[in-house]
Amino acid sequence: MFKKRKEKALRKNNWKNEEVISERIIVSHPMVTEKVKMLRLSKEDLYFVAYVKPLVETHIDGLVNEFYETILQVPNLKKIIEQNSSVERLRTTLKKHLIELFDGTVDERFIENRLVVAKVHYRIGLDPS
């Protein structure tokens, strides 16, 4: 199901002309290129991000548990979770998502995965506020 969603998003965003900004930053969408430049995100930053990945993996269970402990204390958020999924299921997807953030590569796959997550939250009525 997720594969189909991603393929659709890829077609829609037309990622044909990938720009290799550095060996770890390969993007084509102008919106993303602009943000990478604005943040001055460098390949050295991304090497560092990848370097700390094992540390994140070591602590991932604790991080995720704490995240849901906090979320479940907010009645409105608890209700959204119960109506759309379950904490057990979300623990797995959040773990995967957080670990992927530390891959240290920003490319089409990375951006699309982030967009899928954003769209999922938008659909369930969770806005950035």
Query: Which residues contact ligand HEM by CB under 6 A?
Result: 2, 71, 77, 80-81, 84-85, 90, 93-94, 97, 116-117, 120-121, 124, 126
Identify which of residues 7 and 23 has a Cβ nearer to ligand HEM in the complex: 7
- Phi and psi, residue 15, nearest 5°: -90, 50
- Taking Cα atoms as reference points, which of 94, 98, 113 lies closest to residue 52? 98
CB of 84 to ligand HEM, least distance (A): 4
Distance CA 45, CA 50 (A): 9
Identify which of residues 43 and 78 has a Cβ nearer to ligand HEM in the complex: 78
CB of 102 to ligand HEM, least distance (A): 13
The CA distances from residue 110 to 39, 79, 80, 125, in Å, are 17, 29, 26, 23
CB of 100 to ligand HEM, least distance (A): 9
